[in-house]
Structures are given as structure tokens and as C-alpha cells.
Amino acid sequence: MSAQPIISFQNVSKRFGKTTAVDDVSLTIHEGEFFSLLGPSGCGKTTLLRMLAGFEMPTEGHILIDGKDVSLTPPNQRPVNMVFQSYAVFPHMTVLDNVAYGLKMDGVGASERRDRAEEALGLVQLAGFGARKPDQLSGGQRQRVALARALVKKPRVLLLDEPLSALDAKLRDAMRSELTSLQQKVGITFIMVTHDQDEALAMATRCAVMNRGLLQQVATPSDLYEFPNSRFVADFIGSVNMFEGTLDVDEPDHAIVNTTEAGPVYLDHGVTGATGTTVWAAVRPEKIEMHKRTETPPQNLPPKVDDAPEGYNVIAGVVKHMVYLGSETNYEVEIAGGKLIKVVRPNLTRWDQEDFELGEQVWVSFHACSPAVLLS
Amino acid sequence: MTSTTAAKVRKIPPGPLEYLRRWPLQAWLVLVGIFLYAPLVSLMAFSFNDSKRNIVWQGFTLKYYVKALNNDSLITAFGNSMTIALCSTVISVVIGAMAAIVLWRFRFVGKTAFNAGLAIPIVVPEICMGVGMLVFFAKVLPWPHNLPWPLDLGNIIIAHVSFSFPFVAVVVRARLASFNRELEEAAKDLGASEFRALMDVVVPHIQPSLIAGGLLAFTLSLDDFVITFFTAGPDTITFPVKVYSMVRFSVTPEVNAASTILIVITVLLTFLALKFQGSGALTAGHGADDK
């Protein structure tokens, strides 16, 4: 990473009348990143992107590109280009004219324009499509035209507004890996807006999660998933089992959260929170193990968990729902009090798998390192 | 139980939208056709009538066409009408498109009032507009006489623009509703100024509506009688006003012949415009059959 960030938002706010779309966001993005703005619809992520492109002006704060304040610079004078959600391919121009449009605006000569546009079309695997009209292309091809049109200007930053939302599932998967490899090939910083957490985790090198105009967390995809900093992030990224409780013990080497629903939860690390406050223990479904339950519970349960003292992190329950998905099976286990716990078990073998049936009595357990403790 | 062969010969009753399979609706269609086109057809037919009085069919002739084409004042009136129509159409399309874009693009104080004001020339009775124009050009902006052609038509052109540009604005506005704002943003993002983005992206999108609106303005201007009658000075005369003055003496086949020429011209223009608009809509729209 270079010393100077390529993009820097400094306390940026945007208000439309009385509603605050973006609330005091400060964020830096560095050269070569594939950065993703993630959040539910209406969280302000698109407004943030549009302010970077120049279609909206921030009400407060500054936006810097390469250290230069561009907060009030019109879009046609910014070194960024955008791929729009609707692709916005000009319908009355040929594919080649579409791609060459930005160069024409820059005053590039006709022959160079043509060569560079052809080259950009080759980059997105549309070589030979130059003479076609956009209505002779499929949705995926139109998106490639939009990509080529933005990349041909060699922008400092490429902005992508929900790039995959309009594609069908199969094409979406193919485009995911294609976009990441394209980004590595051209070496341009990409900033992508998406509401799809899978998309963000799969493609981005770093993500910012937004909610109600506020930046919730900025981290790498794996950090977002494993170390969420709030209930919102834990819940928004992937699925999670959340247990509300009070922080009873907080020592450097262990902590205990006394939850109402799942009993005491033991952690093998300290939590930097005040004891006695309300916290939430969040456990991902794939980090929960399930065991058959007999009349008398065996002494050494859970067998694999030897790091939590006996009596912690083991809950009795009954299998309520099962969804077989081929590679894995999703269970929902009802525990005392009626809460349903989500459990994901990979189907590791073709047979001899320990099978569970609906209504079966089970123990669910998790390691002392599995829960993430959330203070807010 | 019905056998399969019986099912094949069974007569399927007409569906709810199959109007043409019900005889009362067919008859209605014919009646509507007669109502709409019988006057026009008889007008055209009697232009070939070899009779001065033009009441009874006497025989086929083309002599009234020759007479009409040799009638200098009629030709002058026709030329005036065409000039007025062309000028007012061009001005109406420009002003109307601009008004539509302003209403679509911007929020401003008095927008609702402006929108309503645009509709007034459409709904106000023509006779009121005509009297208004008469007073306007008599008191507020007296149009000098004896100006060289085509400046002597200026007041009529202004009058025609004032009632036809709202029609253009309405048509263009409707077309703009389907415009994808991201196209304009994309153009700006790629380096286009506001004006370039407008010309390169917005105007091509509204082009069919400019043609349709222009056609509307042209025909409105060409056949306007009331407003022109009140606006025109003693020296200038347009085709509808001339026909009116000819009819006051008698409905000769000459009037029919001149009217037929006018009908043919307008129908041809409409046909051309529709064809142009159709091909434009085809490339701008979906039509992705040859994928």
C-alpha cells in the first residue's frame, strides 16, 4: 500500500431535506484495492458512491482523490469512471462508439480512439462486437460494454454500482471471478456497491459495512465474518445464533457470559467490556456441533471440546427442522425456552454419516473459541 | 365423456378479445369506418365531378385540378400556409422540447403553475385565442403592413407557435418519462459537459417524439382556420381561409380538388413521419430477435 490513500472520505455527510443518507463517514481506500461498500438497501452506500463519482455533492466534509479535494468537482472532471446498475449503454450508438465515447470527450483522435476501444473490447472478451448495436447483445454482454467503456479511459478508480444484480445466477458466478481477475489484470482500484454479502465476501479485498448512513465496520471479508464488531454486522454477514446475556466474568484468559437462553457461555479469551453489562454471544451455525442424546447424558460431552469446563457451551435440544442441501445439511434445534439454534453440518461421507431425524433429542455444543462477543 | 375426435371438430367460442368473430362488433366496425371516412371519400370523389354545381355526379374530369393549380391566389394561399406551417413547426419543436426538458429535469418555484399554464393553449377555445390574438396584434404588438414575404406572415407564425408548442411539450414530456437518467449520468461520467450529454444522449432518445410532435404542430398549423382568420391582415391569406372564402360563393369541384391535394400531402407526410418514427423506435427499443 502506498503512503497516500487514493480515496479519502473525511467526515462526509449527505442530507436530502430532513433525511440523512450518509452520516459522518470517514474512510480511506488505497491503490489496488477491490473495495466493497456493503449494506441493506437505503443504507447510504449508493449515495457514497455517487458522491465519489460527482453526481451528488456532500453536505458536509471532504472527498479527496489522490490528495486533491474533489468534493464540488463536476463528474466530467473527475479521474473516476462508473459502471451503472442499468449499465447505461447508449442504445443509439454501436458498441465501438459506446466504448470510444469517453475518449472522444477527451479529444482523442479518431484512429487512436478506435484502437484503444478495440483493445478495451478485447479486454472484456467482446472483440469483434464493435459494429453491433446494444439491443443485439445479451445482458451480460451489455455489462461488458459498460465495463470496457469505463476502463478505456484508464481511470484512477473504477466504480461499480450493484454490478451483478441484474444477471442470472449462473452468469453472476462467472462474472464474479471475471471481475476479480480483470481487476488484477488492469491494476485499477475498484470500488463496488452491493447489498449481497456473498458477492462482497467473494470479490472484495476489503469491505465497509454500512447501516442507516453510518459506517459500521471496515475490515477484510474474513475479519467481518469471524470478528464482527456489532450485532448488525454479525447478523448481516452470514447467518448467526445470537444469545443475549450479562458479562459475568472477564479475565485475561477467559470470560463467561451468562445468557438467559443458552445458559452460561464460556470463552477462552478475555472480553474488553465492563462486567455486569449486557452483551451478546454470537455463534456461527457451522461452528456448532450436534450429538445424539440418550436418556442419561454421557459424562464426557462434548467429546471434542476439552477447553471449556464441563457444563458450559452444551445445550440440550430437539431437532425441529432439517434442510438437506447436498453438500451440507441445515438443522434447526429447539432448546429450552423455545429458541431455535441453527446448525450446519457438512455431509463429509456418502454413508455412515451420523444421521439425525426430526424430533430427535440432541446436544448442541461449541468450542470456547467459537462465540464472538458483541458489545453493541 | 367426449372422444378426442369430437374435441377436434368442436367449434371454439370466441374469446373475450376476439372482437372480429362476433358479428355485431363487425357491423359496428363498418359503421365507425363509414362515419369516419365517408365525408372524406365523397369529397375526393366529387373533386373529379364534371359539374359546376357539384351536387349530382355528371362524369369524370381532371379539369378542376388544372383550374385549382392555375388559380394564383389559391396557390399563394397554399404557399403561405406551407411557409407558416414549416416555420411554426420548427419553432414549436424547439420551444416545446425545451419546455418539456425543463419540466422533466428541474425543480423550481412555480413549476406546477408553469405546467398548468402550458396546458391552457390546449384547452382554451380557439375562438378565444383568436380574439385574443386579434387584440394582441392590434394593441400590444402591431404588426406592420407591407412587409416583404415571408415577414408579413410573422404574426400568424407567432400565433401558431403559441398554440402548437404545448402539444409538442406534452408529447416530448411523455417520451422523457421513459428516459433512463443513468444514461445522462454515464455520458457526464465519461467526460461530457451538461450540453454535450443533452445532445448526445437525451436528444437521440426523444427524437421520435420530436418528429411526432413536429408532425402534430405541422398539421395543427396547416389546417388552422379560426386563429388565422383573426390574426391575418388584409393582404395575407392562408389556404383554409381561402377555401372558406371560395365556399361562400359556391362549393365548386375546384374547392374539392384543392382539398384533395391537401389531404394527400398531409397523409403522405404522416405516413413518412410514422415510418421514420417506427424505424427509430426499432433501433432504440427492444427488437433483439437477431441475437
pLDDT tens digits along B121-170: 889 998 999 999 899 988 888 887 777 777 788 889 999 999 999 999 99
In CATH, what number does A7-233 get? Answer: 3.40.50.300
What integer pLDDT is reported at residue A215 of this predicted model?
Answer: 92
Tell whether the model's pLDDT for residue B281 goes beyond 50. Answer: no
Domain boundaries, chain A: 7-233, 239-374
Tell whether the model's pLDDT for residue A350 goes beyond 60. Answer: yes
Q: Could you give the CA distance from residue A273 to residue B110 in angstroms, rounded to a whole number?
A: 58
A23–B contact, CB cutoff 8 A: no
Average pLDDT on A130-154 reads: 91
Q: What is the pLDDT of residues B83-134, one digit of tens each?
A: 999 999 999 999 999 999 999 988 899 999 998 988 888 899 989 999 998 9
Provide the percentage of residues in chain A whose pLDDT is more than 90: 48
Neighbours of B237 (CB within 10 A): 20
Largest CA distance in chain B: 90
pTM (2 d.p.) = 0.78
B-chain CB neighbours of A166 within 8 Å are none
3-state secondary structure A149-167: HHHCCCCCEEEEECCCCCC
**Phi and psi (nearest 5°) for A160?**
-125, 120
Taking each helix axis from N to C end, the angle separating B181-189 and A139-151, rounded to the nearest 10 degrees, works out to: 30
ipTM for the whole complex: 0.81
Average pLDDT on A145-151 reads: 92
Length reported for chain B: 291
At A273, which helix (H) or strand (E)? Answer: none
Identify which of A53, A74, A62 has the alpha carbon closest to the alpha carbon of residue A14: A62
Q: What is the pLDDT of residues B58-77, one digit of tens each?
A: 888 888 899 888 888 888 89
Chain A residue with minimal CA distance to B186?
A88
What integer pLDDT is reported at residue A1 of this predicted model?
Answer: 47
The order of strands in the sheet holding A214-219 is: A80-83, A157-161, A189-194, A34-38, A206-211, A214-219
What integer pLDDT is reported at residue A3 of this predicted model?
Answer: 61
What integer pLDDT is reported at residue A211 of this predicted model?
Answer: 92
What integer pLDDT is reported at residue A298 of this predicted model?
Answer: 52
Name the B residues in 166-225 with CB < 8 Å from any A CB: 180, 182-183, 185-193, 196, 200-201, 204-205
**Would you call B269 exposed, middle or buried from its count of C-beta atoms within 10 A (0-12, 13-18, 19+)?**
middle
**Would you call A35 exposed, middle or buried from its count of C-beta atoms within 10 A (0-12, 13-18, 19+)?**
buried
Which position has the higher pLDDT, A215 or B236? Answer: A215
For A139, A365, B191, B225, the CA distances from A95, given in Å and listed in that order, are 13, 58, 18, 49
For A367, B133, B150, B151, the CA distances from B233, given in Å and listed in that order, are 99, 12, 13, 12
B107–A contact, CB cutoff 8 A: no
Tell whether the model's pLDDT for residue B214 goes beyond 80. Answer: yes
Into which CATH architecture does domain B65-283 fall? Orthogonal Bundle (1.10)
Mutate which: A52, A90, A138, vs B, most B CBs within 10 A? A90
Judged by average pLDDT, the poorest of A170-174, A237-241, B269-273 is B269-273
Tell whether the model's pLDDT for residue B211 goes beyond 50. Answer: yes
End-to-end C-alpha distance for chain A, whole angstroms: 32
Between A53, A91, A135, which is nearest B189 by CB?
Answer: A53
CB A153 to CB B190 under 8 A? yes
DSSP characters for A59-95? SEEEEEETTEE-TT--GGGSSEEEE-TT----TTS-H
Into which CATH architecture does domain A239-374 fall? Beta Barrel (2.40)
What integer pLDDT is reported at residue B138 of this predicted model?
Answer: 86
Q: Are the C-beta atoms of A244 and A212 separated by less than 8 Å?
A: no
Average pLDDT on A278-282 reads: 90
Tell whether the model's pLDDT for residue B56 goes beyond 90. Answer: no
Domain boundaries, chain B: 18-61, 65-283
Which position has the higher pLDDT, A167 or B36? Answer: B36
CA dihedral B243, B247, B248, B250 (to 10 degrees): 150
Tell whether the model's pLDDT for residue B7 goes beyond 70. Answer: no
Q: Are the C-beta atoms of A131 and A96 separated by less than 8 Å?
A: yes
The order of strands in the sheet holding A328-335 is: A288-292, A361-366, A314-324, A328-335, A340-346
Name the one residue in this structure whose C-alpha cell is 459502471: A83
Name the one residue in this structure whose C-alpha cell is 366496425: B29
Tell whether the model's pLDDT for residue B200 goes beyond 90. Answer: yes
Which position has the higher pLDDT, A293 or A1? Answer: A293
Q: What is the pLDDT of residues A76-115, one digit of tens each?
A: 999 999 999 999 999 999 999 999 999 999 988 899 999 9
Neighbours of A215 (CB within 10 A): 23
